[in-house]
Amino acid sequence: MPKLTITIDGPAGSGKSSVAKRVASLLGYSYLDSGAMYRALALKALERRVALNDGTRLEALAKETHIELKAPTPELEAAGAKNRAFLDGREVTTEIRTAEVSQAASLLATIAGVRRVLVAEQQRAGAGGGVVMEGRDIGTVVFPRAELKIFLDASPEVRAERRWKEHQEKGEAFTLAEVLDEVRERDRRDRERKVSPLVRAADAVVVDNTAMGIEETARLIVMLANERQKEEIAAAGKKV
């Protein structure tokens, strides 16, 4: 069976991570969270007090930084972790999940030079297929020739509620209204930025999971992947 490259893009709280992880596990593919790369670099910028609008310094910082993503340990997996993230060899898996890093990553992701460096890293990490990569521009910029592209969406209210529950589980006291404001602000920045804005690739399948659970959404995508694989095999047969 040919191994596909599956891209899952969508706004914050659309369920990308849980769904992408589950799809990868059902298909036996690897899972890569591109947002973790922006977050790890944002953490380094915050630690070094580099201004988040200083494009030249941030691009230089991206070039001299080594970010690695690895599959989570079974314990981290059970606790809902995504990839393990390493920043210049130091594990930062939990540090990159704070609200401060979320905001910083969203600012840093507007800088073209930073994106160039991280996109090249993501292309290297996903080369060879058999991968489910999630982000904002994976189907449009990172893997424009991916065999299956999904654009995952849900209403802002439902996405904010999911994020709010995550904060609650971590003992962070935000109100639902604050989280909804943050979701709207990040949506605006992700969708309106000049470089690689969050847009649906023309050939992406839109999946709105406002009223769907993770398992249902993941199984729908696996069905689409199976269909796509059959099409790939049929197309290869015709060429022979």
- Which residues here bind ligand DC, judged by CB under 6 A? 12, 34-35, 38-39, 105-106, 109, 135-138, 186, 190
**In which residue are the tokens 């099409």 written?**
231
Query: CA-based angle 80:86:88, to the nearest 5?
Result: 165
Which residue number, 73 or 123, has a Cβ lying nearer to ligand DC? 123
Instruction: Report yes or no: 33 and 83 within 8 Å, Cβ to Cβ.
Output: yes
Least distance (Å) between residue 116 CB and ligand DC? 12
Which residue number, 4 or 198, has a Cβ lying nearer to ligand DC? 198
Classify 134 as helix, strand or coil.
strand
Phi-psi region for residue 229, left (φ > 0), alpha (ψ -120 to 50) or beta? alpha
- Quote the tokens at residue 217: 């959404």
Which residue number, 153 or 190, has a Cβ lying nearer to ligand DC? 190
Least distance (Å) between residue 82 CB and ligand DC? 8
Least distance (Å) between residue 143 CB and ligand DC? 11
- Quote the tokens at residue 62: 């991206």
229/220 Cα distance (integer angstroms):
14
- Quote the tokens at residue 30: 């690897």
Least distance (Å) between residue 13 CB and ligand DC? 9
Least distance (Å) between residue 230 CB and ligand DC? 29
- Quote the tokens at residue 28: 């036996």
Which residue number, 8 or 221, has a Cβ lying nearer to ligand DC? 8
Which residue number, 59 or 232, has a Cβ lying nearer to ligand DC? 59
Which residue number, 174 or 223, has a Cβ lying nearer to ligand DC? 174
207/225 Cα distance (integer angstroms):
14
Which residue number, 15 or 35, has a Cβ lying nearer to ligand DC? 35
Q: What is the CA radius of gyration of the chain?
A: 18
Least distance (Å) between residue 195 CB and ligand DC? 9
137/34 Cα distance (integer angstroms):
9
The answer for residues whose C-beta is within 8 angstroms of residue 100's C-beta and 6 or more apart is: 46
Least distance (Å) between residue 106 CB and ligand DC? 3
In order of 61, 103, 170, the CA distances from 51 in angstroms are 11, 13, 28
